[in-house]
Amino acid sequence: MRALLLDNTYFPVRIVSWQKAMILILTNRAEIVEEYNDQKVRTVTQSYNLPKIIKLFARHKNNQHVKFTRFNLFLRDNFQCQYCYEKFPLLKLTFDHVVPQSKGGKTSWENVVACCHPCNLKKANKSPEQVGMRLLKTPKQPSWSPQLCLKIRRDDPKEWRDWLPRSSSA
């Protein structure tokens, strides 16, 4: 079971485990907005309904940068190879260092792009210019908010969708 965590303005922040949600509630850092009526956790002396949606009392510190992860990189590049411009499913993509690591290229938002396997093999350990390839767009750190990228599963409560911005609840 998981809980949707809202900040003190009722904006969705992230999804947390029921254990983390209970810790936030029992340490008076959050309150229950909605709970699972059919799911309980018991202590020696008490029984609690598991939280479905909780709200923080204090203002949530907004993390201004998007974490560099493989999935976030593919999201930034719209699951599209930046060399041949075709879209691919997640498992058919890899990533490529525009300036190869062997030539001093860093693993950063500004030097790594989504790439299909054939283009990655073609580019190999060279610059795109050396093999006649052009990037679809210049790689840069995304400007979207990481809080809006909540991974909702099919078995998650339908009530969560009422708290999400319309564009991410479809």
Longest dimension (CA), the chain: 70
Q: What is the per-residue pLDDT across 105-152, written as a single tens digit (0 to 9) for each?
A: 999 999 999 999 999 999 999 999 999 999 999 999 987 665 556 777
Cα–Cα distance between 156 and 138 in angstroms, integer?
A: 37
Whether 64 contacts 70, CB under 8 Å: no
Tens of pLDDT, residue by residue over 39-96, are: 899 989 999 999 999 999 987 766 557 788 898 899 899 999 999 999 999 999 999 9
CATH number of 70-131: 1.10.30.50
Q: Provide the 3-class DSSP secondary structure of residue 48.
A: strand
Q: What's residue 101's pLDDT?
A: 95
> What is the location of CATH 1.10.30.50 in the chain?
70-131
Contact 105, 128 (CB under 8 A): no
pLDDT at residue 160, as a whole number? 86
| Interatomic CA distance for residues 131 and 129, integer angstroms | 5
